[in-house]
Structure 1
Amino acid sequence: MQKSKSNLIQSVDRALQILECFSKKDNELGVTEIANRLDLHKSTTFGLLSTLESRGYLKQNLENGKYRLGLKLFELGKLVEEGMDLRASSFPYLKELVDKYDETAHLAICNGNQAVYIDKVEGESAIKMSSQLGRSVYMYCTGVGKAILAFMPEMDIDNIIQNTDFNQFTCNTITDPDKLRDELKEIRKREYCIDNEELEVGLRCVAAPIINYNGYPVGSISVSGPASRMSDEKLESIAKDLKRIVAKISETLGYKTEKYKNL
């Protein structure tokens, strides 16, 4: 169903129109050029350009005062590209995990200081979960999030922790930054993580990270199920399969590892 133009936010629409002015031919544009193309006042155009530049979507050439597209667009484009590649390469493994364990398997990617679900396969006996595709989740209290966070550089971990509001979802939620750091160290040692009813009571999860060509965790795969079925023994069995699977997927992204080949 097409959105009515009456629902559009004018300032956002104008900002997007500015971004769409740029092309291979017109890779740099000045305030007056953009204002004329879009029939806007120069003051309005300048304000929009300044806002887009402050967010990294545009970059000003200080020599001539003109603007060009910024790195933020490249970052978002890479996120979309990696997500599409990951979905294609990961789906058979999600299906393999569900066929074997009859629980819910998720694929998530890193987006700033959160993880985002981009694929999901459910088993026949899987409980219904609030893990809609496209949903963002916290790093500190979810399996997919902790698996990514644990393998980030220390500087990124510090930044995310400092900018996180730690909410107490269950009695098992880790809300102390120091305890979270200790947990992340343990996750790095065993190379997988467990969500032990930290976000939802009665839900346990095991997850492992997907690493790209430069050693950065770009995503994770998890298997979730009710605590009544997800015993410690079952979690260990799933973890072994997960470590093998994420190693294979990571290799498709250019990450070189000899680990888990005999698992």
Structure 2
Amino acid sequence: MNQSVVKALKILDLFNETTSELSLKDISVKTGLPKPTAYRMLQSLESMGYIMRTEQYEQRYQLGLKLLELGHLVSHQLDLRQIAKPLMQKLAKEINEAVHLVVVHGHQATYIEKVDSQRALRLYTKVGKSSPLYIGSGPKLLLAYMTKEDQIKILSQYIQEEGTLENLLNELTNIHKLGYSTSESEQDVDTTGISYPIYNHRGEVIAALTVSGLSTHFEGEDLVFIKSETQCVAEEISRCLGYSPQEKEVYEV
């Protein structure tokens, strides 16, 4: 366990609804940290925006605006999961394949919700799993709705060959034009993934609704049915989040 991180979190835990600001002495006493150590920790937290000094007193501290930003993000993701989960359960029951909710986290894709299929043989994925944004239908879909500049910045971390990078950029452009993404054996052998975008009330793509399973289940009429049902549910989740088609963002190429 990283002791510096633990000490920093102990300082943040001192603040609550009844204690909105504290002095350096208060923080030192309550955490058991020597004043010089507490001061250094506060300097680091202040530089990152997690703590700020009060306007009236230089040696008194309160929570910083960075925590408000993170709190809003967590709240937003909880709302998304709460709205999406029952619709994902409905979709999983109809198509009998695994259904995932994928969002961007930093320069990666993170799976924040999952509903399993009822099949005896299931794909192994778990909530919290992260993946590069160029592997899998969900991550690629999210990357496809970013600006070209951001796409290049992210892909350049992983892809060095110019030809390969250009091919991926062309694939992302095609995904955006189609309005959905597919993958074949990219994360697991002999599996197929299909993803559709979920929009918020501002017309921004904030998540991918992804279905995945053995490739033999994604053929012919079954494939047509799965795509149709997944698209309908993605659109329904978007409407529940306040999305209206005229609010859609303009894609920058």
Query: Are the counterparts in 2 of residues 93 and 245 from structure 1 also a CA contact under 8 Å?
Result: yes
Q: Distance in 1 between matches of 2:28 and 2:246?
A: 56
**What SS is found at the alignment partner of 2:119?**
coil
**What SS is found at the alignment partner of 1:228?**
helix
Query: Are the counterparts in 2 of residues 140 and 146 from structure 1 also a CA contact under 8 Å?
Result: yes
77, 87, 109: which one aligns with 2:103: 109
Q: Structure 2 unaligned runs (5+)?
A: 248-253
Deviations 1:131-176 (A, max 9, x none): 11222222210222122222234454344334x4359xxxxxxx93
Which position in structure 1 is the counterpart of 2:203?
215
Which position in structure 2 is the counterpart of 1:129?
123
Runs of 4+ in 1 over 6 A off after TM superposition: none
1:104: how far off?
1.1
Q: Partner letter of residue 147 of structure 1?
A: L
Q: Distance in 1 between matches of 2:175 and 2:61?
A: 44
Query: Are the counterparts in 2 of residues 126 and 225 from structure 1 also a CA contact under 8 Å?
Result: no
**What SS is found at the alignment partner of 2:188?**
coil
Q: Distance in 1 between matches of 2:155 and 2:20?
A: 38
Say what the alpha-carbon RMSD is for the aligned residues.
2.9
**What SS is found at the alignment partner of 1:106?**
strand
1:63: how far off?
8.3
- Relative distance call for 1:80 and 1:38 in structure 2 (3 A) is same
**What SS is found at the alignment partner of 1:176?**
helix
Which position in structure 1 is the counterpart of 2:33?
40
- How many aligned positions are there? 244
**What SS is found at the alignment partner of 1:105?**
strand
Q: Structure 1 unaligned runs (5+)?
A: 1-7, 168-174
Which position in structure 2 is the counterpart of 1:176?
164
- Relative distance call for 1:62 and 1:136 in structure 2 (3 A) is farther
- Relative distance call for 1:151 and 1:50 in structure 2 (3 A) is same
Which position in structure 2 is the counterpart of 1:86?
80
State the TM-score, normalized to the length of structure 2. Answer: 0.81
Deviations 1:168-208 (A, max 9, x none): xxxxxxx9333222222111111110112222221110011
Structure 2 residue 70 is matched with structure 1 residue 73: no
Query: Are the counterparts in 1 of residues 102 and 112 from structure 2 also a CA contact under 8 Å?
Result: yes
1:129: how far off?
2.0
Which position in structure 2 is the counterpart of 1:3?
none
Q: Distance in 1 between matches of 2:112 and 2:200?
A: 17
Query: Are the counterparts in 1 of residues 98 and 115 from structure 2 also a CA contact under 8 Å?
Result: yes
Q: Distance in 1 between matches of 2:220 and 2:103?
A: 26
State the TM-score, normalized to the length of structure 1. Answer: 0.78
Which position in structure 2 is the counterpart of 1:229?
217
Which position in structure 1 is the counterpart of 2:7?
14
Q: Partner letter of residue 16 of structure 2?
A: S
Query: Are the counterparts in 2 of residues 221 and 242 from structure 1 also a CA contact under 8 Å?
Result: yes
217, 231, 240: which one aligns with 1:252: 240
Structure 2 residue 88 is matched with structure 1 residue 100: no
- Relative distance call for 1:34 and 1:161 in structure 2 (3 A) is farther
Percent identity of the aligned residues?
32
Query: Are the counterparts in 1 of residues 52 and 64 from structure 2 also a CA contact under 8 Å?
Result: yes
Relative to its length, the structure with more helix (as a share) is 2
Which position in structure 1 is the counterpart of 2:44?
51
